[in-house]
Amino acid sequence: MRIGLYPGTFDPITLGHTDIIERAARLVDRLVIGVAINRDKGPLFSLDERVAMVRQECSAITGCEIVVHPFENLLIDCARDVGATVIIRGLRAVADFEYEFQMVGMNRAMDSSIETVFLMADARRQAIASKLVKEIARLGGDVSRFVPAAVGDALKSRLT
């Protein structure tokens, strides 16, 4: 069984994330969505809220078994914990690549048996970033083109 891990903070999950999840689900038998606790980022939503949002948005995605798994340890350790042989990462722009390139090098140094696969963001989704979505919502803008409807409602409720 091929197990993939798609990690992120998902604060909140966006249509860019769901695009990568849908495409990754066609590549593996089980896709683990690793929701990072990452207290350093100061998330808007609690871990439980982010996990619930990811579960809700992934419930209709087909192609493989999808499991949502919160984690606070190193990404490579999380991959080992869930039995992943591949880490799936989304790329939006060159700036993403530079950071991801360093991460791959460090992860391979810690465990060369776990591969990293990059999926390019769909052209319609390349500009979407959770940080920008939160800023737009905070300033009263319409985020409906960037996040699922339920996530947009949660943002509006949280920020008003």
First to last CA, the chain: 45
Question: Is position 108 annotated as part of the catalytic site?
Answer: no
d(CA 130, CA 17): 9
Q: How confident is the model at residue 77, as a pLDDT?
A: 97
Question: Is position 131 annotated as part of the catalytic site?
Answer: no
Q: How confident is the model at residue 42, as a pLDDT?
A: 84
Share of the chain above pLDDT 70, in %: 100
Catalytic residue (one of 55, 80, 92, 158): 92
Q: How confident is the model at residue 93, as a pLDDT?
A: 77
Question: Is position 92 annotated as part of the catalytic site?
Answer: yes
Catalytic residue (one of 41, 131, 138, 145): 41
3, pLDDT greater than 80? yes
55, pLDDT greater than 90? yes
94, pLDDT greater than 80? no
- Over residues 27-54, the pLDDT tens digits come to 999 999 999 997 777 899 999 999 999 9
26, pLDDT greater than 80? yes
Q: How confident is the model at residue 97, as a pLDDT?
A: 85
Judge if pTM exceeds 0.85: yes
Q: Residue 136 in contact with residue 146, Cβ under 8 Å?
A: yes
99, pLDDT greater than 90? no
Residue 135 half-sphere exposure, CB side, CA atoms within 13 Å?
5
Question: Is position 41 annotated as part of the catalytic site?
Answer: yes
The SS3 assignment for 113 reads: coil
Tell me the domains of the chain and their CATH numbers. Answer: 3-123 (3.40.50.620)
Q: How confident is the model at residue 34, as a pLDDT?
A: 98
